[in-house]
Structure 1
Amino acid sequence: MKETCSAQVPEWRELWYGSLGALPPREPSFNNTREDVVAQLGSLAFLHCPVRHLGERGVSWVRRRDWHIISSGVLMYTNDERFQVLHSEGSDDWILQIKYVQKRDNGTYECQVSTAGGTLSRLVSLWVAVPEAFILGAGEHHVDAGSTLSLVCIIDKSPVPPQYVFWYHNARMINYDAARGVTVRTETVRASADLDPADPGAKTQSTLSVRAAEPRHSGNYSCRAPNTEPAHILVYVSEGSDKMAATLSRNASAAPLPLGAVVILTAVAMATRVMKSLASP
């Protein structure tokens, strides 16, 4: 009985594999649902194209903006070295990787597979998020000498919190000037969906404080984060006649004052200086 079974097994296998070989090869297929990918400026972007039953066929990536063929299989047809196709042996996924994403990379990309029935395609839209920085307040900030100078910078529209936020006074970075009374506190805060339903994500807030500000602390202040346009604000630290002189100078540059007003303000400023010099020992 055992001999009969063992003799039948090879015949059964031959018939089974023979029937499989007679089947037509399976056509490639993938989910052609459009996909949206968000990548922050300067970061890595991965565009996926999973294909089943690819066989010996190849996958091509095309940029829809200008119909430029970026790749065919793992061969690249672009001089831009930031682009690369990632594919592991045995994997169905053909990934278009873009390094150091730039604003110009924003747009729609298409992966294609040619079949006997035509071309299969899948669209992937890349959205490049460009973080924005702004300092709370107007374009200039006035503070009295001896008081605390406080500035708040918000980094918005950043999918990933920045690794650092640096503050500059004119051209000098001052984050670590603790000996000069400078402190910087940076934290990530979550916006309330009730306040901004369109953007309930995280924001980075950096606060600069200068204790006992002096006139030498006047100037241009800016906050800067990676891959973010810096924000600027002009700071005036003044007292008495200096504050009046700053106001006079600012008004004169914006819209000339009447001659009489200029004479009066100048006289008041000079009188204030004389009184301060007489009062000092």
Structure 2
Amino acid sequence: MPPYDPSAFPPFAVTVDLVVLTVRRHELCALVVRRGEAPFQGRWALPGGFVRADEDLVGAAARELAEETGLCAHDPATPELGGGAHLEQLATYGAPDRDPRMRVVSVAHLVLAPDLPAPRAGGDAHGARWAAVEDLLAQEAEPVQDGDGQTGPLAFDHARILADGVERARSKIEYSSLATAFCTPEFTVGELRRVYEAVWGVVLDPRNFHRKVTGTPGFLVPAGGTTTRQGGRPAQLFRAGGATLLNPPMLRPEV
């Protein structure tokens, strides 16, 4: 066999793209940034960028999130990155024509966090905002003009990546305790229910939901206090119970 020749293969770049989801005002929202450079200059996109030679993928994802938005996240397996948000690898996207500059393979990551503050733009982003997931995905089918006069779908193949990230979140909260990643460390059952309603886009029966989540072993543990922050009578506070798999699962209602 002839010796291995690296020059026989075309070069390509690796990027990370981030699907950052949070619940704001009872609505599932995603973080988008306005591109400051070509290609797709002026269009909204998911935050992300090229992986540097000395970085691993998780480090690149955390750096891009901080540079472009000022937000922090960490992989539970790498606590040294700091922050309190959940970060996991989502999928890899490598269509030959997905980036007009060159062959680019993107490793997308999913980030979930409680109600996050307004982001700030940085790096090569000229703007950053939280946008309703429903509105962003609707633009793929029918362009919608935003408040700055910009129209059109997300740049690159980011609408597909966003849709995949949203479906991952919707599926995982059925059989895992991942929904608690959208909550503060101590939360009420009502606050957790509103997370499920926002992510799934449904209305759930409060009593039935309360019975399910408090009766699922390892899902929730009492935090030892109550709160009136939602108004009305004091509600018991809970923390995530540490269970990774829910048995029985919280099945998504059919819409």
TM-score category by the smaller chain? Answer: under 0.3
- Bigger share in helix: 2
- Bigger share in strand: 1
- The TM-score, its normalising length taken from structure 1, stands at 0.23
Higher relative contact order (CA 8 A, sep 6+): 2
